[in-house]
Chain A
Amino acid sequence: MCDQTFLAITFGPCDSCSENRPLMNLYIKTEPINYCSLCMEIMACQGLASGETLKSLKAESETLRKKLEEERKKLHDVELEKVAEKAEALGELNMKTRRTLKGHGNKVLCMDWCKDKRRIVSSSQDGKVIVWDAFTTNKEHAVTMPTTWVMACAYAPSGCAIACGGLDNKCSVYPLSLDKDENLAAKKKSVAMHTNYLSGCTFTNSDMQILTSSGDGTSALWDVESGQLLQSFHGHSADVLTLDLAPSETGNTFVSGGSDKKANVWDLRSGQNVQSFDTHDSDINCVKYYPSGDAFASASDDSTCRLFDLRADREVSIYSKDSIMFGAASVDFSLSGRLLFAGYNDYTINVWDVLKGTRVAILFGHENRVSSLRVSPDGTAFCSGSWDNTLRVRQEGRGVGRELKQGGTTLYG
Chain B
Amino acid sequence: MLIHSMQSSSNTARARRAVQQLRIEASIERIKVSKASADLMHYCGEQGKYDPLLMGIPASENPFKDKKPCTIL
Contact = CB atoms under 8 A, between A and B. Distances in A.
Nearest to A99: B64
A295 B51 contact: no
A186 B8 CA distance: 51
Interface stretch (A161-169, A253-261, A376-384): A376-384
Interface in A289-321: 290-292, 294-295, 309, 311-314, 316
11 contacts: A16-B8, A17-B4, A43-B9, A54-B11, A80-B33, A83-B34, A87-B41, A276-B25, A312-B32, A336-B43, A355-B44
Interface in A18-46: 18-19, 38-39, 42-43, 46
Contacts of A291: 43, 47
B55 interface: yes
A52 interface: yes
Interface string B7-37: 0110111011011011111101011111111
Nearest to A353: B44
Contacts of B39: 292, 294, 311
A310 to B, nearest CB: 9
A71 B30 contact: yes
B36 to A, nearest CB: 4
Interface string A74-110: 0111111001101110100000001100000000000
A336 B5 contact: no
Nearest to A314: B33
Nearest to A71: B30
A98 B64 contact: yes
A393 to B, nearest CB: 7
B22 to A, nearest CB: 4
Contacts, number: 226
A17 B10 CA distance: 12
B72 interface: no
Interface of A: 14, 16-19, 38-39, 42-43, 46, 48, 52-54, 57-58, 60-61, 64-65, 67-68, 71-72, 75-80, 83-84, 86-88, 90, 98-99, 118, 134-135, 235, 272-276, 290-292, 294-295, 309, 311-314, 316, 334-339, 354-355, 375, 378-382, 393, 395-402, 404, 413
Contact of B15 (A46, A54, A80): A54
B45 to A, nearest CB: 7
Top 8 A-B pairs, shortest CB-CB distance: A336-B47, A17-B5, A336-B51, A398-B56, A57-B15, A64-B22, A83-B37, A312-B36
B52 interface: yes
A38 B2 contact: yes
Contacts of A65: 22
